[in-house]
Each structure stands twice: as C-alpha cells, then as structure tokens.
A and B are shown apart, each in its own frame.
Chain A
Amino acid sequence: MVTTSSVIEFLGKLVPGYDYRAKRSRLNTDRSVREKLARELRKSALNLKEVSDLAYRDDKRVVVDHIKDILKAIDLFVVEIEDSPFGQSPLFKQDGVTDDDIDHMIEFDRQLVTQLEVITKTSELIYDHVLKGETSDIVMQVRKVKKELDLMKNTFSDRLDYFMKR
C-alpha cells in the first residue's frame, strides 16, 4: 500500500487539500498537482536560464546549447502538463473509486514529485557550483537533468494513460 500516512502527509504539505478519496475534491487535487509540477519546473528553468546567461557571457557556446535544449524540453513539458485532458478522465466522473485506483494515483504523484525534487535540487546545485567557478563537467550534469526530465515526462504520460483508460 502506498497510501501510507507519511506519503499522504508529504503530498498534503506540497499540495494543500490533497485528497483523491472524495469525488468533489478529486479534480481539484489533480489540477493542484499539475500546477505544482509546472510551477516547480519553471523554477528549475529559471535557475538553468541564469546559468545559460552566465555561460553566454563567458562564450561557452556548448553549455548554452545544452541548456537551451533542456529549457526547450521543460517549456514543452510545462505546456503538456497544463493542457493535458485529465478533466475527461472517468476517474473524476464516477462516485466510487477503488482503493487500488487511489493507490495508483497517489503513487504516480509521489514519483513525479520525487523526480521533480531531484531536478529542482540539481539545477540549484549546478547554479551554486557555477558561481564557485567549478564548471569543468557542467555539460554532463546538465545532460543528467535532461535524462531525469525525460523520465518524468514518461511517468507523466503513464499517469495520463492510466487516468484516461480507466
């Protein structure tokens, strides 16, 4: 069971009013989760954009290109998150949803939030190291962020599939 109190408490702190059990709050919970994902991704994008500006100032075209790549991916992902057709999911229309479904919904959210946290934290760390002048392996780290972002996108697609096909 993933619906342990600590997971729900954790998600509840990140997303106020987090609750899939009641029908009336299910749609709002999904929207709040997606808004949170989009907001946090924009924060990471902002950090990386700053790094990109510094790289541009120091003529590091390779770094700029890699960051540009990830920024573009984040932009697209944010649009996907915001515009995805979750509202049509049958899970939001029916009164009774099984515990199994709720468990799955919570598990998807937990995975997304954890991946998001790693992306946000890594972007912060990259920015910090750049300010310290430790930049020799920056491209590798940026690519790792990109990889985590791709994983997150996959999880999000799986979530959408699960929600729509129920």
Chain B
Amino acid sequence: MAKEPLFFKDEGAMGDVFEEAKQIVEQTRLSRDERSRVATITEDRLRQLTGKFIEYDTINAQNNEYRIRIHQLRVKLLKGELTPDEAKKALDALAGEREELQKKYAGLVELLDGQMKNIDTEVETLNTREATLTRQRDQYHSALHMEVKWLAEGELKEIAGLKESLKKKRQSLVEEKSLIFNKKDELAESFSLVEDVIGQKTTRYVSADNARASELNFLARFDMKMNAFPVKIFSPQESKTYTVTDWKKHYHYDAGQAAPKPVKDAADKVIPVNAGSVYAIEHKDLAYFGKSHRKVVAEAFSYCNISDYADLGFDTRAVTLTTLMGVLRPIIQQAEAGDYYHVLGIASPTGWADDVLGWVRGDGTGNSYLSRNVAVCLIDSVIGEIYYNQNDLRILSYIDYFRHEFDKERVEKLKKIIRADFDASEYLEFEKMFEKTKEERFIIQLAFYELEREKVGRIKFVEGVGMVFMR
C-alpha cells in the first residue's frame, strides 16, 4: 500500500518565497538604517538639550558677590561704621547692578522656557515614532518577520528610555526655573535688608547664644516627643495611622559646609547651625528586599540667618516669605516626586514676617498653603507660639510634636491661670476657660482634675452650662 504523504500534500503554493525573503531583508535593512538615523539625530538633540547652562553659573557667581556686598553694608551700618546717608548712597550705587542681575535672570528664564519647548517638541516627535513602531511591531506578528519585530521592539525600548531622560531633564529645568524666580525675589527685596536698618524697623533682637539655645531646645523637645513610644503617626496618603515603637529611619543634620564662615573669632562664637531632625516611615517593595519608599516624614528644623549671627553676633530679621519659599522648594519637589507625606515644623528665633503667617494660616478665603504632600507648621522658638493652617486636618495630630511645651508643662501653665482666675470668682466654666485660653480641651480637663486632687476646688457638671470648677 502506498504511503500517504505527510508534508508534501501539495495543498497550495508557497508563492515566491525568494522575493518575500528579499523584501524582509530589505525591510530589516531599512528599519535598521532608520533606527540608526533616528538614534543619531536624537542623541544630537539630547546633547543640545541636556547641555549645562554656563551663563547660569556666571550669573549666580555675580549674584553671590552682590549679596555679600549688601550683607557687608548691613553689617557696617549695624556696627555704626556707616551713617544712614552713606548707606543710602551705597545702596543707590548698587541699584544698577541689581537691575542688571534681574535682567540676566529674566533672560535665563526665557532660555529655560525655550529649552522646555524644545524638549516638548522632541517628546512629540518621539511619540509619533513610537506610534509608527508600535504599528509596525503589531503588523509583523508572523514568525517570519521576527527580525523586523525585534528591531521595532528594541527601538521602542530606546524611545522609552529617551522619553524618561527627557522627562527628568524637563523636571530639572522646572526646578531651575523656580530657583531663578526665587533668586529674583531675593534680589527684589535685597535692599530692604539695609533699608530696614536705616528706618530702625527692628522687631526683635536675638543674640547668637539665645538663637542656638532656642534651636537646641526646640530639637531636643521634638526628639523627646518623637521617642516617647508608642508614637502615633498619621499617613493621610494611605488613610492610616502607624503606631511606631522604634524609629528605623532617623537622623540629625545641620547647615554644615553650606553655612558661611564667621568673619573672626570662630572658636569663641556660639552660633546657630540650622539643625534639623528627621523621622521617616519607609516601606520596602517586598517584605525584606527591594527599594525603600517613603510614606511619611516628620521633620523639625530651626531656621536662622546664620550669616548675621556669624558676623554680628545677633539678628533682628523675621523670616520672610521669599526665604521660606527657598527653603521649602526642594522639600516640596521631593515629596511630590516621591508621593509621600512630609510634615514640617520650622522654628525661627526671630519670628516670622506677617506675609509668612498669612500664607501658612490663611484667613479662611482659600489663600493658605494646603498641599497633598507637604504640611507646614511654623514655630516662634523664643515666644513659643505655633502657627499652622487650622483647616488642614491632617497636620493636627502632629502639632503637639512641634509644640514647645510638653503636656505636663501646658497643664501647669493652665493651672496657674485657673488659680489666678479662681481667686477672683466663685466658679469657673469649662467653655469660658476654653474660649479664653484657646488651649486644647483635654489639657483644660486635666488641669481641672489635678486642681481637684490638690483640693483647690471641685468639679461639677451643671446642665446647660457643662463642666464647672467651683468651691
């Protein structure tokens, strides 16, 4: 019996496979050429786009020189080495330089805008190429066109990498731009440093020793509170509260090298160092391995005009909004990039300018700072006042960590007030005490109970009035 053919059944023609093979080889060659052409063009463009701005460094150096001159003028004025008239003349002489710098920064902003526009165009081109390649890759799904498919896939991967690096570059340009705006603001208010002294517009005199003591005091108290385990840390991003019994990620820092060197007698001077303390909750991708991701960061730091403390031994300037923006800018950017919640307690011994307080507290009309990733709480470390946005419910659980006093101290303070009031009246209403002191309810309650234990009076609940402290 004749054997049935298994493969050569002649079910159809294979067609001109030779021509087909030629086409595939040609297509592959074209794809390869196109890919190398695109890669060369893109590399060139990328080199142009990611090139460093030489002008930026030059202008920054000029700006630094200008700032040093203004600072020296202020120091001389405060030390009495210059009369107000002489200082005014010196300021007038510097006006041209300030304008020149502002113009240069404006030019730089234009340059950055152009660069960002170029990046956007490049990303657009890459998107078009990506769409073409994706179409090509999906079109050649047969195994016969595997090589073309692989080439397309290889280029798609490269495009993804290029897009990522362009995205990063754009992000860094945005950061640089905001830095330039910050420098422009600083320039705009640079004269006020001297003019305030001429106009005797001093708000508070804080010596370097006192500033350093306040700084140490603030951080030590914050550390104590953060280590009174178990510590409750609220993460609004995850809508959960962590109960911390041990800090795995905690460190201290100070201005270190960034701080300007004192003019003389460095060893004898005690100056604040803008120290900070950071506590972070991090999670790994897997239980024990993988990259750590920040979830919540609680940071407290003290901010002072170190250069004034170093040169003059004191400072009188409250922290302005421009300065605060300069400090917050990198923190906000990092928190947004990492998508974690960063709560900040910033203490200043010279206090805060009115515009800063307005920005943080707001007036209920929606002009206060409220961010998904960053919450700010400001502390006046000399008078112990604390400022925050009362409408931001997420920061409320952190306020006590930044607050100067411990609960015990707050209760003691309140007990003194109650005792003084109680001497002059027959009874004290809880609600009236709350309205008067604006202290938290549980502190008032604790103060009442302690005074009752000390047999100063007794607590009674009166219907329609509430808790009352009476004889």
- Show the binding face of A for B, using Cβ within 8 Å: 5-6, 9-10, 54-55, 57-60, 63, 114, 117-118, 121-122, 124-126, 128-138, 141, 144-145, 148
Contacts and interface: CB of A to CB of B under 8 A. Distances in A.
A55 B21 CA distance: 22
Nearest to B2: A59
Given A6-B33, A114-B25, A126 B7 contact: no
Contact of A126 (B8, B9, B17, B143): B17
B14 A138 contact: yes
A38 to B, nearest CB: 19
Contact of A121 (B9, B11, B21): B21
B6 A144 contact: no
A54 B7 contact: yes
Contacts of B79: none
Given A114-B25, A118-B21, A128-B143, A134 B11 contact: yes
A124 B143 CA distance: 10
B14 A126 contact: yes
A5 B36 contact: yes
Interface in B1-29: 3, 5-18, 20-22, 24-25, 28-29
Contacts of A145: 18
Given A118-B18, A118-B21, A133-B9, 17 more contacts: A5-B36, A6-B36, A6-B37, A9-B36, A55-B8, A57-B6, A58-B3, A58-B6, A58-B8, A60-B5, A129-B14, A129-B17, A130-B8, A133-B8, A134-B13, A141-B16, A141-B17
Contact of B18 (A54, A59, A135, A141): A141
B144 interface: yes
B294 interface: no
Nearest to B146: A124
Nearest to B40: A5
Interface residues of B, number: 28
B104 interface: no
A137 B10 CA distance: 8
Contacts of A125: 14, 17, 20-21, 144
A135 B7 CA distance: 8
B32 interface: yes
B12 A130 contact: no
The 7 nearest A-B residue pairs measured at CB: A129-B14, A121-B21, A144-B18, A58-B5, A125-B17, A122-B21, A133-B11
B3 A59 contact: yes
A126 B19 CA distance: 12
15 contacts: A6-B32, A6-B36, A57-B6, A121-B24, A122-B18, A122-B21, A125-B14, A129-B17, A130-B8, A131-B7, A133-B11, A134-B12, A134-B14, A135-B8, A148-B18
Interface of B: 3, 5-18, 20-22, 24-25, 28-29, 32-33, 36-37, 143-144
Interface centre among B3, B12, B37 (most CB of A within 10 A): B12
Given A5-B36, A125-B144, A128-B144, A136 B21 contact: no
A5 B36 CA distance: 9
Nearest to A131: B7
B360 to A, nearest CB: 59
Contacts of B12: 133-134, 136
B13 to A, nearest CB: 4
Given A9-B36, A114-B25, A125-B144, A58 B17 contact: no
Contact of B25 (A117, A137, A144): A117
B260 to A, nearest CB: 52
A122 B17 contact: yes
A62 B237 CA distance: 75
A36 to B, nearest CB: 16
B13 A136 contact: yes
A13 to B, nearest CB: 9
Contacts of B143: 128
A141 B14 contact: yes
Contacts of B16: 141
Contacts of A6: 32-33, 36-37
Nearest to B33: A6
Nearest to A123: B21
B147 to A, nearest CB: 9
A55 to B, nearest CB: 6
A138 B46 CA distance: 51
A137 B8 CA distance: 11
A132 B11 CA distance: 9
Contacts of A58: 3, 5-8
Contacts of B144: 124-125, 128
B5 A130 contact: no
B2 to A, nearest CB: 8
Contacts of A136: 10-14
A152 to B, nearest CB: 13
Contacts of A148: 18
Nearest to A121: B21
Contacts of B22: 118
Contacts of B9: 133, 135
Contacts of A141: 14, 16-18
Contacts of A114: 25, 29
Contacts of A63: 8
Contacts of B11: 132-136
Contacts of B36: 5-6, 9
Contacts of A118: 18, 21-22, 25
